Amino acid sequence: MPGPMLHLSVAKKVNPDASIGFYVGNLAPDAVKEREIKDKVHFYDITDREKAFKQFALKADNIYLKGMLLHLFVRRFC
């Protein structure tokens, strides 16, 4: 389970000149204490997570959402 510093480090490598919204988006999915909400944000409550991930990727049309997308990618593969 990657921690916040890993998420920020990856974000910096992916887009070193990003706005603050990108970095906030990278941290936002873990900034929730309630397990039900955190599971929903990370698509753990969805049977076909890969499909949900792809749909989210297609809709990530601003820097904040792109940061969240990177968070989910790192979370999935680290």
Predicted confidence (pLDDT) per residue in 4-38, tens digit: 999 999 999 999 999 999 999 999 999 998 999 99
Residues in contact with 29: Cβ distance below 8 Å, sequence separation at least 6, in sequence order? 38, 41, 42, 68, 71, 72, 75
Q: How many CB atoms lie within 10 A of CB 4?
A: 12
Helix (H, G, I), strand (E, B) or coil at 60: coil
Tokens 């510093």 correspond to: 5
37-78 pLDDT per residue, tens:
999 999 999 999 999 999 999 999 999 999 999 999 998 776
